Chains A and B, each alone.
Chain A
Amino acid sequence: MDKEITIHSPEFQAIYEEISERAEAIRKRDELSDVSFRDWLCKAIEELASKLGYHIQNIYEFTLDMGYSFQKGFEAGRERARKKAYRRRQQ
């Protein structure tokens, strides 16, 4: 179909909104998953270490700095972890 779409077209606004909502949904999912995985990992590390006779301190800090974030990889996760409210909530 031949149709010129400009930023003033109603279709432009509608599709932009859809793509924005989708991006936001993915971002939210990544964040939920990051927090969930860190919680799971902390618990696993604590339990396994305890079975071996160790008590590990600073485990939450470690998982934040480790930065296993979904989608964006190690370095981006480390940077994001520093900025996130999660760390502030822990303080």
Chain B
Amino acid sequence: MAINPRKLIEDIKKFLAQNGMKAEDIDKFGQQLQERLDNVAPPTIAIIGFTGVGKSSTLNALFNAGQMTSDVRACTQDAKQFTGDIEPYTGKKGIINIYDMPGLGESIAKDCLHYDVYADILPKVDVIIWAFHAGDRAMTPMQNAILTLIDRIGPSFTEKMLFAINKADTIAPGESAWNEEFNIPSAEQKLNLNGFESYVRERVKEVLPSWNGPIISYSAKRRYHLDQLMTEMVSVMPNDIKWVLSELADVADYTELIDPEHLELIKAMKADIK
């Protein structure tokens, strides 16, 4: 991380002195700026998806380098009564506030209850992640939710929304097709992932014709496309706090899961790309 608060404040103090600020005011300024930096609010993320879609493993892969946290609540995969409570997730570099939102489609009655909570919470968060399993073609509940929510709270929430398709490694023809040696999808899986992303985009555009937000296929387990997912999360955040989420990112390195025999090749590629 490049922000060194002490150095930053020293540089700003020099700049202020050069621009004529009195010494006692410079000290006050420095203290107040330090307080602002110390008290930047953690980003708030709403993750929508059924239990088992991989919300905990995704958070661990994005903010804790793939390690399980010691926070039991962040690790649990038990179904829980959804109350709309915010849960702090402690990543390696700091806290992110998470709203763990249940998936839709279980029943009409439950969806109606969930809409109330979505309408309350989604306007408050910085990023909304709709999480799906790769290959799960049941899009009607998501479409209904978007239409209902636009009706209730207006369309602005769709600007901070992205679709995250987890378990990319399981897409047809199946997990056995995944190229474990290089930790990448097989050619057929890659085609199917591209096809599924197009499918999701078409379904979203049926209810939001002008939406051109991000849709990312990834695998929390294989660490595949995590940097792409993190970047798109940053991109949909409000501009003045994109840097806060980026500061907290601790993305698991997917090249660590590549066969060590190919390390030299990977290093040469990375050097070439730089």
Which A residues have a C-beta under 8 Å from some C-beta of B? 1, 3, 5, 10-12, 14-16, 18-23, 25-26, 28-30, 32-37, 39-40, 43-45, 48-49, 51-54, 56-57, 62, 66, 68-74, 77
Cβ of B153: which chain A residues have Cβ within 8 Å of it? none
Given contacts A10-B187, A70-B2, contact A21 B228 (CB under 8 A): yes
A78 to chain B, nearest CB (A): 11
- Whether B33 is near chain A, meaning CB under 8 Å from some CB there, is yes
- What CA separation (Å) do A19 and B262 show in the bound complex? 13
Cβ of B237: which chain A residues have Cβ within 8 Å of it? 36
Tell me the interface secondary structure of chain A in the complex: helix
Q: How many residues of B contact A (CB 8 A)?
A: 51
CB pair B255–A19 under 8 Å, yes or no, is yes
A33 to chain B, nearest CB (A): 4
B183 to chain A, nearest CB (A): 8
Cβ of A20: which chain B residues have Cβ within 8 Å of it? 273
How many CB-defined contacts (below 8 Å) exist between A and B? 125
CB pair A45–B33 under 8 Å, yes or no, is yes
CB pair B2–A29 under 8 Å, yes or no, is no
Which B residues have a C-beta under 8 Å from some C-beta of A? 1-3, 7-8, 11-12, 15-16, 19, 21, 25, 28-29, 32-33, 36, 179, 181-182, 184, 187, 190, 225, 227-228, 230-231, 234-235, 237, 239-243, 246-247, 249, 254-255, 258-259, 261-262, 265-266, 269-270, 273-274
- Given A11-B179, A74-B7, 8 other A-B residues pairs in contact with their CB atoms under 8 A: A15-B265, A36-B246, A37-B243, A43-B240, A45-B33, A52-B21, A70-B3, A71-B2
10 tightest CB-CB pairs across the interface, nearest first? A36-B242, A33-B246, A37-B243, A36-B243, A29-B231, A25-B231, A33-B243, A25-B227, A25-B228, A15-B182
Tell me the interface secondary structure of chain B in the complex: helix
- What CA separation (Å) do A35 and B230 show in the bound complex? 17
Cβ of B179: which chain A residues have Cβ within 8 Å of it? 11, 14
State which of B1, B190, B230 has its C-beta within 8 Å of the C-beta of A29: B230
Cβ of B21: which chain A residues have Cβ within 8 Å of it? 49, 52, 54
Cβ of A32: which chain B residues have Cβ within 8 Å of it? 231, 234-235, 242, 246
CB pair B273–A19 under 8 Å, yes or no, is yes
